[in-house]
Amino acid sequence: MLRIEGLVKQYRTGDRALKSVDLEVPGGQVMALIGPSGAGKSTLIRCVNRLVEPTSGRIQLGELELTTLGSRALRRARRRMGMIFQEYALVERLTVMENVLSGRLGYVGFWRSFARRFPQSDVDEAFRLLSRVGLDHMVDKRADELSGGQRQRVGIARALIQDPELLLVDEPTASLDPKTSRQIMRLVTELCEERGLAAIINIHDVMLAQMFSKRVVGLQLGEIVYDGPPEGLTAEVLTTIYGEEDWSATIRNVDEDEDGVEAPDDAHAGAASARHPAAPAREEDVVGGM
Amino acid sequence: MPAPARVWRKPPFIKDPRLRWGLWLAAGVYLAFALGTLEVNWNRVADGIPRGQRFLASFFPPDFASRWAEILDGIYESLWMTVTSTVVGIALSIPVGLGAARNLSPLPVYLLCRAIVALSRTFPEIILAIFFVKLFGFGPFAGFLALSVATVGFYAKLLAEDIEDMDPDQAEAVRVTGASWFQWLNYAVQPQVMPRMVGLGLYRFDINFRESAVVGIVGGGGIGATLLTAFDRYEFDSAAAILLVIIGIVMAVEYSSGWIRRQVQ
């Protein structure tokens, strides 16, 4: 469904963020992309929807080659890809409903959107999605009145109302506490399953990646160094991705969590994620301190 | 034996001590010379004080009654000038401001719009008013044009700067939905800049009203013209009334704009 071949991104500063990445994501697959900060995870998914212009390589969504699209065709293609952001990226002074409906902007004309008169079917779908993510009582609240977890739920609804085939998810839990992180990851993966969506989820929390996806891809300095099932993430593999560290706690915790998904033990999750040496521990530290 | 205490001082802003003290010295010497060349003739100051007292005394009591019709006409004209020039100025500022925001516009458009802003900011309202009075003759139309042009320089610059300071994540999030450029402006840019722009619009209204009194003095119509006439006729009591009316209106605008700004946050 999504096929990336020989993707290179070199920034103007000369940094090669991606060095010839090949990656294929079949329809309906939820894939976790792990790796330390600066590995190029964010650059990779931003190349797909061209928030970042790739230097070279090919990216195909279905039959459509994305890297050569003109602005009009790009807008059309972007409707097929929903994006979820680390800091939620809701428009803070708009209401929850306006934020969700902004996901339909690619489908409606300017004056309709300007007058906030979206087609009834869009409004129905927005209400349905908001109730699915548990926020139908907050329709007219302004986005800046919501908590982090609630904002991310609105972000998810905004991405889904586009009726996409692919979700690009950039560190969805990095600003959330451990419990909310799991709830959000569970919601994203459930919704992907319900709708048969493919997803690339950037995440630096290895445990969450293992818990919620069947395929994990490890990126290190712009190259894919691991591509396989979550069980394959051994201490050696994690060392290749992140560097030398005592990984035993992370791996052991994964085993415990396999049974504990229903009643997640959040203290463990927090402790374990703080152990990732190369990953920026700042968000977890903030959470841990609260 | 305890370790000797380690001394710490805030590092100076200018590292080189010669440069640091040299700058202080240069500033001091210049100030001394500047004060030295300022010739104060204390005799003239002494003569001026009672004259000033007489002048101020002639303002009292302010006379609202005898020229009330003219005052009212002047105020109406000034308000008309203020409202129209603020509205027209802001309307013209929006495209210029969008063009002058580096994160929205390509370089040629950016440079052009910045040039427009710089040009209209170069001339103060009074110079613009003299210019337009020469072009179009006496009257409020010249004042209206002067204030409109001045509003563009002020408002477009601040709009562009506010757009450049907006949160890029929110803008990206709306862009990736496939929104068109105008939809993106309406959903991502406008909500972010709107409250500040409403506040600045009211502030500009306030400035335009005060400036309408100034442009009137050079022939741009409005309450300034009435004020000038009062001075020319040595009707200082009427002039005092006019000044009090201006102060009253400026204060009313000031308080109401503060209140409105709090409402739109």
Q: Domain containing A256 — which CATH number? A: 3.40.50.300
- For residue range A61-84, list pLDDT tens digits in order: 988 999 889 889 999 999 999 999
Is A277 a residue whose pLDDT tops 80? no
Paired with A202 in beta bridges are A33, A170
- Options 1.10.3720.10, 1.20.1250.20, 2.40.160.100, 1.10.287.130; CATH for B64-264 is 1.10.3720.10
Q: Note the pLDDT of residue B69.
A: 82
Is A87 at the interface with chain B, CB within 8 A? yes
Is A157 a residue whose pLDDT tops 50? yes
Are A102 and B174 in contact (CB < 8 Å)?
A: yes
Q: Which residues of chain A make contact with B167, given a CB cutoff of 8 A? A: 92
Is B174 at the interface with chain A, CB within 8 A? yes
- For residue range A36-65, list pLDDT tens digits in order: 888 888 999 999 999 999 999 999 998 899
Are A89 and B173 in contact (CB < 8 Å)?
A: yes
CB A232 within 8 A of CB A254: no
Are A91 and B187 in contact (CB < 8 Å)?
A: yes
Q: Write out the residue range of the structural domain in which residue A216 sits.
A: 2-289
Are B191 and A93 in contact (CB < 8 Å)?
A: yes
| Minimum mean pLDDT range among A201-210, A273-282, B185-194 | A273-282
Is B47 at the interface with chain A, CB within 8 A? no
Residue with more model confidence, A145 or A269? A145
* Confidence category of residue A175, pLDDT binned at 50, 70, 90: confident
User: Which residue on chain B is closest to A161 by alpha carbon?
Assistant: B177
Q: Kindly report the three-state secondary structure assignment for every residue of chain A.
A: CEEEEEEEEECCCCCEEEEEEEEEECCCCEEEEECCCCCCHHHHHHHHCCCCCCCEEEEEECCEECCCCCHHHHHHHHCCEEEECCCCCCCCCCEHHHHHHHHHCCCCCHHHHHCCCCCHHHHHHHHHHHHHCCCHHHCCCEHHHCCHHHHHHHHHHHHHCCCCCEEEEECCCCCCCHHHHHHHHHHHHHHHHHHCCEEEEECCCHHHHHHHCCEEEEEECCEEEEEECHHHCCHHHHHHHHCCCCCHHHHHHHHHHHHHCCCCCHHHHHHHHCCCCCCCCHHHHHHHHC
CB B125 within 8 A of CB B147: yes
Is A106 at the interface with chain B, CB within 8 A? yes
Is B229 at the interface with chain A, CB within 8 A? no
Are A158 and B173 in contact (CB < 8 Å)?
A: yes
Residue with more model confidence, A261 or B181? B181
Mean pLDDT to the nearest integer, A112-135:
92
Are B176 and A78 in contact (CB < 8 Å)?
A: yes
Name the minimum distance, in Å, from the CA of A250 to any CA of chain B: 32
CB A127 within 8 A of CB A185: no
Q: Which residues of chain B make contact with A45, given a CB cutoff of 8 A? A: none
Name the minimum distance, in Å, from the CA of B198 to any CA of chain A: 14
**Calpha distance A245→A252 (Å, rounded):** 14
Read off the tokens for A55: 């230097």
Q: Which residues of chain A make contact with B192, given a CB cutoff of 8 A? A: 91-93
- The rounded mean pLDDT for chain A is 83
CA distances from A208 to A33, A215, A225, A250, B63 (A): 11, 12, 19, 11, 80
Alpha carbons within 13 angstroms on the beta-carbon side of residue A90 total 30
* Confidence category of residue A253, pLDDT binned at 50, 70, 90: low
| Minimum mean pLDDT range among A11-15, A277-281, B131-135, B170-174 | A277-281
Are A78 and B178 in contact (CB < 8 Å)?
A: yes
Are B187 and A110 in contact (CB < 8 Å)?
A: no
**Calpha distance B206→B252 (Å, rounded):** 10
Is B191 at the interface with chain A, CB within 8 A? yes
User: Which residue on chain A is closest to B182 by alpha carbon?
Assistant: A110
φ, ψ dihedrals at A115, nearest 5°: -85, 0
Q: Note the pLDDT of residue A140.
A: 92
CB A219 within 8 A of CB A18: no
Is A110 at the interface with chain B, CB within 8 A? yes
CB B32 within 8 A of CB B187: no
Is B192 at the interface with chain A, CB within 8 A? yes
Are B186 and A114 in contact (CB < 8 Å)?
A: yes
* Confidence category of residue A154, pLDDT binned at 50, 70, 90: very high
Are B173 and A76 in contact (CB < 8 Å)?
A: no
Q: Which residues of chain B make contact with A89, given a CB cutoff of 8 A? A: 169-170, 172-173
Is A89 at the interface with chain B, CB within 8 A? yes
Q: Note the pLDDT of residue B158.
A: 93
Is A91 a residue whose pLDDT tops 80? yes
Q: For helices A120-132 and A148-160, give the axis angle rounded to 10 degrees.
A: 140
Test mutation, A93, A95, A117, chain B, max B CBs within 10 A: A93
* pLDDT tens-place values along chain B, 265 residues long: 677 788 888 888 888 889 999 999 999 999 999 988 887 788 888 888 888 888 888 878 887 777 788 888 888 888 889 999 999 999 999 999 999 999 888 899 999 999 999 998 888 888 888 888 888 888 888 888 889 999 999 999 999 999 999 999 999 999 999 999 999 999 999 999 998 898 888 889 888 888 888 888 887 777 888 888 888 888 888 888 888 888 898 888 888 888 887 887 7
Q: Which residues of chain B make contact with A113, given a CB cutoff of 8 A? A: 179, 183, 186-187
Name the minimum distance, in Å, from the CA of B188 to any CA of chain A: 6
ipTM for the predicted complex: 0.81
Name the minimum distance, in Å, from the CA of B32 to any CA of chain A: 50
Name the minimum distance, in Å, from the CA of A239 to any CA of chain B: 32
Within its chain, how far is the Cα of B16 from the centroid? 39
Q: Note the pLDDT of residue B47.
A: 85
Contacts of B221 (CB under 8 A, 6+ apart): B77, B78, B81, B138, B139, B140, B141, B142, B143, B215
Are B187 and A113 in contact (CB < 8 Å)?
A: yes
Q: Which residues of chain A make contact with B179, given a CB cutoff of 8 A? A: 75, 102, 105-106, 113
Q: What is the dihedral of CA B187, B100, A13, A8, to 10 degrees?
A: 40
Is A130 at the interface with chain B, CB within 8 A? no
Q: Note the pLDDT of residue B1.
A: 63
The number of distinct structural domains making up chain A is 1
Q: Note the pLDDT of residue A112.
A: 92
Q: Which residues of chain A make contact with B194, given a CB cutoff of 8 A? A: 93
